[in-house]
A and B are shown apart, each in its own frame.
Chain A
Amino acid sequence: AQSVAQPEDQVNVAEGNPLTVKCTYSVSGNPYLFWYVQYPNRGLQFLLKYITGDNLVKGSYGFEAEFNKSQTSFHLKKPSALVSDSALYFCAVRDPQDTGRRALTFGSGTRLQVQP
């Protein structure tokens, strides 16, 4: 069974500083990995994905994430945080080995708070 862990309930960072939101996963084979962001009273917005290829993937709003197979991690990063980045961030995984399964398994979410 696939699973995702986001070990931090909340991450606090000062505006202009780099940010990292952590995610580790467990799947039987090579994963498809995703990051979504949720603003208050809004749905989940797709940020970026890792499917194959370059371990560093770039996404929307200046975010990037690094796939690390040996550490089974897919941490979300941004070089310089903005106050407007404050939101709830979800990591999700899909196991492509199970061809009939397209469901995403989500982590519990990490609240990012960027202070001015």
Chain B
Amino acid sequence: EPEVTQTPSHQVTQMGQEVILRCVPISNHLYFYWYRQILGQKVEFLVSFYNNEISEKSEIFDDQFSVERPDGSNFTLKIRSTKLEDSAMYFCASSEGTANSYEQYFGPGTRLTVT
């Protein structure tokens, strides 16, 4: 069964450093998403991406964040200058994007620890 994959599973970085989190969505899916889950808190939406551009973003997704689909398979989230409060589990998700598709399929997550 196709699945969303994410690398790395765990990333440790120092405050102020840039990190890139990588995702490979399910191959025939058209919409891609990033969510995050701070330890013990809700899963929060960050951004959605369709047709090579951001289609929606939350107030969390400020100028330090960016997303990119550098090729036909990868989808990345870049955090330019990490802060302690960026420590969280980051989930990538994808959905088909057809008229009758509604559910999003999530990857296993990348645990980001900012020290």
Contact = CB atoms under 8 A, between A and B. Distances in A.
Tell me the interface secondary structure of chain B in the complex.
strand
Contacts of B4: 43
Interface residues of A, number: 24
B28 to A, nearest CB: 16
Contact of B55 (A34, A44, A100): A100
Contacts of A92: 43
A109 B108 contact: no
Interface string A45-79: 11001010000000000000000000000000000
A106 B109 CA distance: 16
Contacts of B108: 41-43
A34 B21 CA distance: 26
B62 interface: no
Contacts of B103: 34, 46, 49
A46 B42 contact: no
Interface of A: 32, 34, 36, 41-46, 49, 51, 90, 92, 94, 100-109
10 contacts: A32-B102, A42-B108, A43-B108, A44-B91, A90-B43, A94-B102, A100-B56, A102-B48, A102-B55, A109-B42
